[in-house]
């Protein structure tokens, strides 16, 4: 019986050493989390219709997309997107784009070109068509903006600029840099 006590103590010491070794290995080992194979979406919506409402319950954005894919990180991709940005019951801008990116944890999204935006000049109300390669839409701030080159076409003037920002509730638009404009005199 005298030999049992040292044997038990020896077994406990060996078990503790094994446990310590295991814990040390766990701390120094990095765990690799595998993402879905090929970046597959968690959800795919086909023929999606989108409506965004303001705090007063009135619609501020109406959209349609051929497909919308949502991923585990809460990002998304849309294909063949059309959107109407609405202020005071009137369509302010109509946007079309072959693709859109919805960054994770954000309400804004980026239309990817060629992007076509149809609206009105704030000063005259004349119809306006804007073409660009990408355009951010921020429904919270009611703004569209880009830092890319834009081409502007309307019956009264044509032009180009690098960068544009428009607020569809305030009916305002700013061209940022390298603005070139040609005016057509009234007849």
- Per-residue pLDDT 10s for the chain (187 aa) are 566 666 566 666 666 666 555 556 555 444 444 344 347 888 888 998 988 888 888 888 899 999 999 998 889 999 999 999 998 767 689 999 999 999 998 889 999 989 999 998 888 888 999 999 999 999 889 999 999 999 999 998 999 999 999 998 888 899 999 999 998 877 7
Token pair recorded at residue 99: 């693709």
5 within domain boundaries: no
In a domain, 34, yes or no: no
User: Is residue 137, in this structure, part of any structural domain at all?
Assistant: yes
Q: To 5 degrees, how large is the angle CA 69–CA 74–CA 80?
A: 30
With beta carbons less than 8 A apart as the criterion, state whether 125 and 100 touch. no
Q: What is the CATH number of the domain that holds 92?
A: 2.60.450.10
Measure the CA dihedral 152/155/158/163, to 10°: -20
Can you read off the two tokens belonging to residue 54?
Answer: 């303001």
Please check whether residue 23 lies inside any domain of the structure. no
Asked, for residue 16, whether it belongs to a domain, the answer is no
Domain that holds residue 91: 40-183
Residue 10 lies in a domain: no
Asked if residue 95 belongs to a domain, the reply is yes
Contacts of 23 by beta carbon, 8 Å cutoff, 6+ apart? none
Closest CA to 86 of 115, 52, 109: 52
* SS3 letters across the chain: CCCHHHHHHHHHHHHHHHHHHHHHHHHHCCCCCCCCHHHCCCEEEEEEEEEEECCCCCEEEEEEEEEEEECCCCCEEEEEEEEEEEECCEEEEEEEEEEEEECCCCCCEEEEEEEEEEEECCCCCCEEEEEEEEEEEECCCCEEEEEEEEEEECCCEEEEEEEEEEECCCCEEEEEEEEEEEECCCC
163 in a structural domain? yes
Number of domains composing the chain: 1
The pLDDT value recorded for residue 180 is 94
Alpha carbon 37 to chain centroid, angstroms: 23
**What's phi and psi for 67, nearest 5 deg?**
-145, 150
pLDDT at 2: 65
Is the distance from CB of 99 to CB of 78 less than 8 angstroms? yes
């Amino acid at each position: 019986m005298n030999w049992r006590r040292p044997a038990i103590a020896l077994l406990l010491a060996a078990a503790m050493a094994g446990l310590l070794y295991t814990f040390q290995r766990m701390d120094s080992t990095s765990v690799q989390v595998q993402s879905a194979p090929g970046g597959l979406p968690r959800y795919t919506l086909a023929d999606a219709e989108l409506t965004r409402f303001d705090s007063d319950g009135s619609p501020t954005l109406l959209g349609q997309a051929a497909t919308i894919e949502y991923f585990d990180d809460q990002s998304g991709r849309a294909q063949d997107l059309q959107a109407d940005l609405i202020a005071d019951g009137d369509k302010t801008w109509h946007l079309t784009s072959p693709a859109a990116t919805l960054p994770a944890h954000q309400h804004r999204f980026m239309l990817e070109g060629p992007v076509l935006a149809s609206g009105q000049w704030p000063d005259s109300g004349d119809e306006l068509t804007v073409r660009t390669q990408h355009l951010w839409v921020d429904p919270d701030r009611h703004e569209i903006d880009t830092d890319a080159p834009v081409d502007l076409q309307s019956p009264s003037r044509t032009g180009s600029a690098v960068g544009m920002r428009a607020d569809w509730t305030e009916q305002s638009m700013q061209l940022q840099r390298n603005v070139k404009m040609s005016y057509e005199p009234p007849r």
